[in-house]
Structure 1
Amino acid sequence: QPRRLGQTVRRLAVPREARERVERALRSTGDVLVLRELPSEAMQELLDGMAAVHLEPGEHLFQQGDSGDSMFVLERGELLLQRREGEEELEMLKLRPGASVGEPSLLYDEPRSASAHAGEQPAVLWS
């Protein structure tokens, strides 16, 4: 059973080895044109302000219906997206490193359309 996100957010600089992967993921986010075309200097400022989110196996990042003021880039591990329809919980996607999640809630001030939790291994995301 997935757990709720605890006190696992830590403000850390994106490590050098992860910066390129995170930047590539941000720039390839199809729905977020502003990120794809962000000048290099502005992208570096964005990366400097990101925080690491560490999830233990099964730990929730967010729940369907939660308000969302951030997006996430998966660096390590696997993130599972599930959506509740009525009484049924449907698995939608398995996200791999380099994927991003949460853009619609951030951009359009909409509630989260699905729940997200770490798979069988710990996950590291940047937000």
Structure 2
Amino acid sequence: MNRQFSILFIFVLLACNSAGPYVKSKGMVSCAHPLAADVGVNILKQGGNAFDAAVAVQFALAVVYPRAGNIAAGGFAVYRTSDGTISALDFREKAPLAAHRDMFLDDMDSVIANKSLLGHLA
């Protein structure tokens, strides 16, 4: 029963993206919102590369789909340069140097209510 439900759930999730990717002869843009995908396609049509389109799509998503949390968020990227070199970028978020594991605990090692939710340390 669980397996059948899982398979059904996967198909339902796949069906939720009714817009689908935009495919061109030498490029494709797929993202969480069709207007942002249009921005990426336009960048490619104007001669931009995949990085140009990706950056433009992220800025567009900040406007049309802000809960995606894309500006100043971290991530990973694998890319291939024009000479065929394949590289990876790791641009995950990093805590400030003054952050430490006990910064939301009091002297008795109890959690200080709302300290991680409100104020400059949140």
Over alpha carbons, which structure has the higher Rg? Answer: 2
Flag whether TM exceeds 0.5 (same fold): no
| TM-score, normalised relative to structure 2 | 0.23
| TM-score, normalised relative to structure 1 | 0.22
Bigger share in helix: 2
